[in-house]
Structure 1
Amino acid sequence: MEGDIAELGKYIGVGLTAFGMAGSAIAVGNVAGNYLAGALRNPSAAASQTATLFIGMAFAEALGIFSFLVALLLMFAV
């Protein structure tokens, strides 16, 4: 019985890490959408903001990768 409860807790924790991955996907969409909106308003400044776009997307995506890593650790290391 104790092993079953521990197993259940592990799977609940893995399911909760999916919220981190979903949040990362939403953040990447927001970054790209805001860049596109700004680029359409001022096309001449869009080229200078491309590096900022990629940095913002990398930070947002890193949170999703960390959530995925936590999910793997919960599934296989605990």
Structure 2
Amino acid sequence: MDSITLIAIVSIITAGLTTALGTMMPAASEGKAVATALNALAQQPDASSTITRTLFVGLAMIESTAIYCFVVSMILIFANPFWNHVIAN
């Protein structure tokens, strides 16, 4: 097995793991954040605007983690910088 094949195998496995973990963990975190926010809204309905605003900012930050994982996996699949290094040598 040559080095290009090995890099391709490792890149595809890493991209798959990155996508899998990068979508499961933020999804679980978003679910927990929404559940906690709904619990807080049930206890303090007067603070709904503050809780909702904070919830959306937190959800955006959590979702950005999933987007970064997706970008890393796409780079590993379509624009892998390691292939150019191996081909040059």
Identity %: 31
Structure with the greater alpha carbon radius of gyration: 2
| Aligned with 2:53 (options 47, 51, 54) | 51
The residue type equivalent to 1:44 in the other structure is: D
Using structure 2 for the length normalisation, give the TM-score.
0.79
Q: Which runs of 5+ in 1 are unaligned?
A: none
Aligned: 1:62 with 2:83: no
Q: What is the aligned partner in structure 2 of residue 8 from structure 1?
A: 9
Hey, what's the Cα distance between the residues in 2 that align with 1:62 and 1:6? 27
Please report the RMSD computed on the Cα atoms of aligned residues, expressed in angstroms. Answer: 1.2
Q: Which amino acid aligns with 1:67?
A: C
Deviates more, 1:63-72 or 1:42-51: 42-51
| 1:31 equivalent in structure 2 | 33
Q: TM-score, normalised by structure 1?
A: 0.89
Residues 58-67 or 43-52, more deviating: 43-52
1:41 aligns to what? 43
Letter paired with 1:26: A
Spell out structure 1 runs of 4+ moving beyond 3 A.
Answer: none
The number of residue pairs the alignment matches comes to: 78
Between 7-16 and 39-48, the greater mean CA deviation after superposition = 39-48
Which range moved further: 42-51 or 30-39? 42-51
Per the TM alignment, residue 4 of structure 1 is displaced from its structure 2 partner at its CA by 2.4
Question: Displacement, 1:47?
Answer: 2.2
